[in-house]
Each structure stands twice: as structure tokens, then as C-alpha cells.
Homo-oligomer: A and B are copies of this chain.
Amino acid sequence: MRSLRVGLAQIDATVGDLDGNTRKILEYIDRARSLDVDLVAFPELAITGYPPEDLLLKPSFITENMRKLREIADQVRDIAAVVGFVDAADDIFNAAAILCNGEVVGVYHKMFLPNYGVFDEDRYFRAGHEYPVYVVNGCTVGVNICEDIWYPGGPTRVQAASGAEVIVNINGSPWHIGKREIREKMLATRARDSAVIVCYDNMVGGQDELVFDGDGLIFDQRGNLVVRGKSFAEDLIVADLDIEAVFRSRLHDPRQRKEFLAVRREIGTLPCPAVCSQYSHRAMSLLPKRQVESYDPLAEIYAALVLGTKDYIWKNGFRKVLIGLSGGIDSSLTAVIATDALGPDNVIGVSMPSRYSSPGSRDDARQLANNLGIRLLTIPIEPAFKASLEMLSDAFAGTEPNVAEENLQARIRGNILMALSNKFGWLVLTTGNKSEMATGYSTLYGDMAGGFAVIKDVPKTLVYQLAEYRNAKGPEPVIPASVIAKEPSAELRPNQRDVDSLPPYGILDQILEYYVEEDRSFEEIVGMGYDEAIVKRVISMVDGSEYKRRQAPPGIKITPRAFGRDRRLPITSRFRPN
């Protein structure tokens, strides 16, 4: 029986770390070889990390990446490997090299360059126009890259018609809620449509706003899921592919044979398979079938936040983080995620009570720190608040207290956090959620001051769900019940409550989803039954807060449309709902 043992290496590459990424690729090649793998695949742009953004405009970066590819090729013996890199050939291409016998035996250039959402690939790359296929140990393989496989008429179809029995699709595909289902459905369809085995390899890890989930997949030629790799963790997925079954399947499917004929008529000459490896087939018994990893929606989101945080901190050379703990749900969840990501020794909480802080809030912060086993500093802000009010008393003479006095407190806290950060080299994590980021219910340079915004893309209602999820996960609940139960308040003036300034979060988050993620108009949202005045106010808050968001630290994208590179609105804009 003809079979191919593939290895899908879902590695956590770091952008710009050409040495480190190369070292990791070589290690995984060794591991794959020791498991008698015929063909091992690495993610899109594995050598450079993804996305390298304007590093791609530095000639020295391109050259160095080409040097690394040759270094890797040299080590690829008695196995074949597919490695993502930047190919420089008259222009630059998002490319996959097929390596074998110490040589680069082929290069595929990505044909479909995404230039929407968080992607800017037209800014950098020229698109490919060739559909090569390769024979690896007697099996015909087509290689393509990420976006390519999303197009029904793309290279997968042509490569299959040219004889490819296996498609290796390598990815730097960022995760968001709901993407997994769409992706798996699409891949199953591609596999069945072309009666081809689809091997989907994906990057894992955090890169600035993005987090890659790994979640490598293999679908057989009937579109059945064969294996799913780990989520949000590195993995080497090894599986034996039943190649005979592909031929059998095609023979028995007249629709398939007509489809391939149609491709031949459209494309003209189809590419000829190039034999790229024909090493003596190892005597080996088939692997036991690996279990398909399961997943749970909240667990997935939580894991994304943990990995995104860990990678941002570590990849940027930090070890410890600092979090202002107000006793509220947002800072509590942020601290728990940080502790799960970095360990309790690497998280420092700071309680900074003011004259308006309730005793309950102070207790809750203390309790949370105890539960997590993290260090807690307590620095009341009254002295600086009092001094600042006095300094401003002349200028403020005759005015009523307003947001100025409230923000003063938040900014004194930001100043304290940053002073500790500057003194000890701890990175400050901010604690604002997406509902706040959307409406601007936050203080620029105050609670928005910090290096990374862990839950920036988590709507408030989801913050609660994640807190409950994490408490239930145990072993013990970590977030005090009173934190979850109490009414949200910024505590910047007496008896302040979020609902004084915002609609209830249940309604707010729905309107935000329609307006921010789906770009629906005022009329449409009102048409769904929401109160006109509320919708108008929410839209106006969102539109009016663009300047704040522009100065916010990056945070992890978890929704289909996050603030940041995903949603690029002008600050100066007079477009308003009627």
C-alpha cells in the first residue's frame, strides 16, 4: 500500500529572530526524521516569523533570510521539508521551499495575497503564478500557502488536477473566535472537491496584536477530519496518509474526473510533477491513529489570551509584569491571565486606593493577590492627588468638578505604575476591556498607560464569562465572588457607577458588535429594535474615541474585528449617523 508519512510542525516562530527560528526548524526536522517522517512542513514565513511587516523593506533582512534557507536546506537529508521563507527573485515573494537531499528542489510563490483586515501583503509581495507539484517518495504533492486554499478556483484545484494526491498548505493564520469552524468546513470542502488529502500546518504563538492557534489539520480525500493538532501550543503532528485511497476515490468519482478535465481546458498545460525525493522507503509499520484534539469555546479564548500575553512579554525580553489592581473584574481577570501565563513570581499587583475607593474594593484586590500567590504593593494616591489639586487650584478656580478631577486620579495611578516599571523593568499590563475601548470609557495615560492590553478585545460580557470559566476550572476559584457580583464602577467620584455613563453592558455589547464588527448603520441597528437615543449615543462614543484608541497599547485580537490594524478609521472624520 502506497502511503506517505507527513509531519506538520506547528512552531512558535518569533518575528525577526532568524537565528532562533532556524534553530527551531532544524530541531523539528531532526525530530521528524527520527520518527521516519517522509515530508515535514513548517508554517508560512517560518524563517522570518509572521507578519514581518516593514522589516520586509530592509534588503539586509531578505538577504539574511535567504542565507538561513540555504543553511536549513543543507541539513535536510533522508527527509523532505517544506519551509516558509521570503524568496527574492527580481521581486520578493511569500514563498515555500521544498527541500530535499541538501538542496532547494523547488519554490512555490503564494498566489493570493491577503490585503484586508489585519493583512497588508500587497504592500510587500508580488503574487506567484505557477502551480508546481512534486513527487515525494512516490506520492505526488502540491504545496500552497495560507490564503491560496481559501479560493475554490485556486492552486489546490489545479495541483490536484495535475496529479497531486496531497496538498500541503502552510499558514500564518491568526486566530479569532469562530475562525476554527469556518476554516475546518472550508478545508473539508476543498479536500472533497478535489479528492485530495489536505494537510494544514499553522503557526502558533503571539505576535503583537495577533495570536496564532496552531490547530494543524489533516482531512482525507472524502473531507473527513483525520487529525487535529494542539491548540495554542507547539506540536509535531505525524500521520500516515493513505495515498492509495486517493486514487481509488478518484476512479470511482466521475464528477471528479470531469472536473479535472475542466481544469485542463482552463489552464492549458498543467505542470509536470518533478521528482524531488526517492530515498529508499524505510521498512516501517503504520503509526497508530492519533486522537483528534477536542476544544471548548471559552477554553479556547482563555488559552489565546494566555499565550498571547506570554509571548508578548517574553519575546520582548521582559520577565515580570505589573498590574494595577482595583478590585474590579477587569483587573482581576487580567491578573489571573498573567499569572497563568508567567507564573505567580512574575506578576506584581499594585493597589492604589483613593479617597473614593470602597473598602470592599481594597479587600477584593488583597484577596485576589492572595488567591493567586502574587506580590501586592499598596500605594494610596491621596498625597499626589491632593498636591495636584492644589497646584491646579488657581487655574481651576470657579469651575465645577468634572472629568478633569476624575482623570487626575487615573493618571496618578498610571504615573505610579510607570515609575515602578522604569525603576524595576517590569512591563505594565493595562486592564481595559473592549466595551471600554470602544466607548472611550477609560483614561488616556491613566488606566490606558502600559505596554500590553491583555483584554482589549474582550467585551465586558465576555469578561464575566471568562472569569466564571476560570473560577470553575479550578482547582480553587481565584477571583473572589464579590468581584463578580458587585456593580461595575470606576470609583473616581462618590457613588459612581458605569451605568451612569454607559448603557447596560448586555445591550452595549450587542450594539458594539453590530456597529464595530459588522459596520451596520444607525438605521439598521435601530431597525433591530434598539432604542434610538442609546444607539446614537453609543455610535457617537465609538466615533469620538478614535484618538484614544490610536494611543492605546496593543492587545490580543480575539474577535473577527479588533481595534488596531484590523479597523483603520481616520481620527479626523465628520461622518456621523443621522
Q: Which residues of B contact A116 (CB under 8 A)?
A: 123
Q: Which residues of B contact A379 (CB under 8 A)?
A: 391-392, 394-395
Check A71 for interface membership: any CB of B closer than 8 A: no
- In Å, the complex CA distance between A344 and B396 comes to 21
| Contacting pair A54 B567 (CB below 8 A) | yes
| Contacting pair B551 A552 (CB below 8 A) | yes
Q: Which residues of B contact A521 (CB under 8 A)?
A: 58-60
Check A356 for interface membership: any CB of B closer than 8 A: no
Check A229 for interface membership: any CB of B closer than 8 A: no
Q: Which one, B381, B390, B404, contacts A422 given CB within 8 A?
A: B404
Q: Which residues of B contact A16 (CB under 8 A)?
A: 570, 573-576
| Contacting pair B404 A568 (CB below 8 A) | no
Q: Which residues of B contact A299 (CB under 8 A)?
A: none
Which positions 371-424 of chain A face chain B at CB distance < 8 Å?
A: 377, 379-381, 383-384, 386-388, 390-392, 394-396, 399, 402-405, 407-408, 411-412, 414-416, 418-420, 422-423
| Contacting pair B551 A58 (CB below 8 A) | no
The segment from A240-248, A273-281, A443-451 that touches chain B is: A443-451
Check A560 for interface membership: any CB of B closer than 8 A: no
Check A309 for interface membership: any CB of B closer than 8 A: no
Check A120 for interface membership: any CB of B closer than 8 A: yes
A105-128 to B contact mask, C-beta < 8 Å, 1/0 = 000000000011000101100000
- In Å, the complex CA distance between A572 and B554 comes to 11
Among A116, A120, A316, A571, max chain B CB count under 10 A is at A571
| Contacting pair B316 A571 (CB below 8 A) | yes
Check A553 for interface membership: any CB of B closer than 8 A: yes
| Contacting pair A383 B377 (CB below 8 A) | no
Which positions 434-472 of chain A face chain B at CB distance < 8 Å?
A: 444-445, 449, 451
Which positions 292-321 of chain A face chain B at CB distance < 8 Å?
A: 311-312, 315-316
Least distance between A376 CB and chain B CB atoms (Å): 12
CB nearest neighbor in B for A575: B16
| Contacting pair A58 B519 (CB below 8 A) | yes
A497-523 to B contact mask, C-beta < 8 Å, 1/0 = 000000000000000000000010111
Q: Which one, B59, B120, B383, contacts A568 given CB within 8 A?
A: B120
- In Å, the complex CA distance between A380 and B391 comes to 7
Least distance between A566 CB and chain B CB atoms (Å): 9
Check A360 for interface membership: any CB of B closer than 8 A: no
- In Å, the complex CA distance between A519 and B124 comes to 14
Q: By the criterion of a CB under 8 Å from any partner CB, how many residues of chain A are at the interface?
A: 85
Check A550 for interface membership: any CB of B closer than 8 A: yes
- In Å, the complex CA distance between A243 and B299 comes to 72
Check A17 for interface membership: any CB of B closer than 8 A: yes
Q: Which one, B122, B411, B422, B572, contacts A115 given CB within 8 A?
A: B122
Check A133 for interface membership: any CB of B closer than 8 A: no
Check A51 for interface membership: any CB of B closer than 8 A: yes
| Contacting pair A415 B419 (CB below 8 A) | no
CB nearest neighbor in B for A17: B574
Q: A570-B53, A574-B16 are in contact. Are A383 and B390 (CB under 8 A)?
A: yes
| Contacting pair A569 B404 (CB below 8 A) | no
Q: Which residues of B contact A576 (CB under 8 A)?
A: 16
- In Å, the complex CA distance between A61 and B520 comes to 11
| Contacting pair B395 A391 (CB below 8 A) | no
Check A339 for interface membership: any CB of B closer than 8 A: no
- In Å, the complex CA distance between A53 and B572 comes to 11
Least distance between A325 CB and chain B CB atoms (Å): 15
| Contacting pair A570 B15 (CB below 8 A) | yes
Q: Which one, B57, B388, B396, B402, contacts A519 given CB within 8 A?
A: B57
Check A151 for interface membership: any CB of B closer than 8 A: no
- In Å, the complex CA distance between A120 and B569 comes to 12
Q: A384-B388, A422-B407, A552-B551 are in contact. Are A53 and B416 (CB under 8 A)?
A: no
Least distance between A71 CB and chain B CB atoms (Å): 16
Check A231 for interface membership: any CB of B closer than 8 A: no
| Contacting pair A569 B53 (CB below 8 A) | yes
| Contacting pair A402 B423 (CB below 8 A) | yes
Least distance between A223 CB and chain B CB atoms (Å): 31
| Contacting pair A312 B572 (CB below 8 A) | yes
A1-38 to B contact mask, C-beta < 8 Å, 1/0 = 00000000000001111101000000000000000000
Q: A404-B423, A423-B399, A521-B60 are in contact. Are A574 and B383 (CB under 8 A)?
A: no
- In Å, the complex CA distance between A403 and B422 comes to 6
- In Å, the complex CA distance between A379 and B394 comes to 9
The 6 closest A-B pairs by CB, nearest first: A16-B575, A17-B574, A404-B422, A16-B573, A60-B521, A383-B387
List 5 A-B residue pairs with CB atoms under 8 Å apart, sorted by A's residue number: A120-B568, A379-B391, A388-B419, A404-B422, A405-B419
Given contacts A17-B574, A54-B568, A388-B419, 7 further A-B contacts (CB under 8 A): A14-B572, A53-B569, A60-B577, A61-B575, A120-B120, A207-B572, A383-B388
